[in-house]
Amino acid sequence: MEDYIVSVENATVRFNMASENIDNIKEYFVKLIQRKLMFQEFFALKDINLQIKRGEAWGIIGTNGSGKSTLLKLISGILKPYKGKVRVNGIIAPLIELGAGFDMNLTARENVFLNGTLLGHSKKYMEEHFDEIIEFAELWDFLDVPMKNYSSGMQARLGFSVATMVRPDILIVDEILAVGDYKFTKKCEQRMKEMLDGGTTLLFVSHTIEDIKEMCTHAIWIDKGIAMQQGLAEEVCNAYIAAQQ
């Protein structure tokens, strides 16, 4: 049997969506108690199969709402499959939602330690790597500013810097770099390449197909929750582009 670091087997993710408009939380609970609240099933992913070997770089492509982020959340353990299995053999550093793991009322300094704790690092460990994190994020001048005053690009800088301070087994990046400036985005891409060279496995979502081709060896194309094609990044990306024309 192959040594897969990520194995997704016949995974389906289902959500229940309210089938009527409800204006406030009170109305929602009244209808729920009276059993008058009707739901429609929505399948965000349908029978997805994906096996990723250690050290591979996979791009996940598709139009908005196709299920890309849902797949990443499934692999990260944020979501559980309605059907199927997901196995992950390693430590994950997920960069899925901007600001995830941060308290916006705290300063960047305080959030470095908070985020480090959520990733399983000790205070001593974070103190040892603090300067390295802030240096990479280029945020010395804004260290004691509450993060609610940060731009989305600054939040992305800090989140990426903390998550990649160590070398996780699996790095998951979901379009978060799109909010950064060009120079910092290239800096992040260089760090990801260094991590790949060191054996880290990458799962990468980007709407820029050229970035997928440059960063990834493999790709999976998802459309309306269904895996349309997977394999070598160049081939899958070209098929996706052809389908959009």
Q: Could you tell me the two tokens for 63?
A: 């139009």
Domain that holds residue 32: 4-244
Q: What is the pLDDT of residues 117-126, one digit of tens each?
A: 877 788 999 9
Q: 3-state class of 64 per DSSP?
A: coil
CA 42 to CA 109: how far, in whole Å? 41
pLDDT at site 38: 57
CATH number assigned to the domain comprising residue 21? 3.40.50.300
Residue 80 has what DSSP assignment?
Answer: -
Question: How many domains does the chain divide into?
Answer: 1
The pLDDT score that the predictor gives to residue 102 is 86
Instruction: Please write down the long-range contacts of 34-42, taking CB distance under 8 Å and 24 or more positions apart.
Output: 40/16, 41/14, 41/15, 41/16, 41/17, 42/14, 42/15, 42/16, 42/17
Q: Which residue has the tokens 């160049």?
A: 234
Across the chain, what does the average pLDDT equal? 86
Task: Give pLDDT tens digits for 178-225.
Answer: 666 788 888 888 898 999 999 999 999 988 899 899 999 999 999 999
Distances (CA, A) of 92 to 88, 97, 162, 164, 205: 9, 14, 13, 11, 16
| Average pLDDT of the residues in 26-45 | 65
SS3 (DSSP) at 92: strand
pLDDT on residue 1? 44
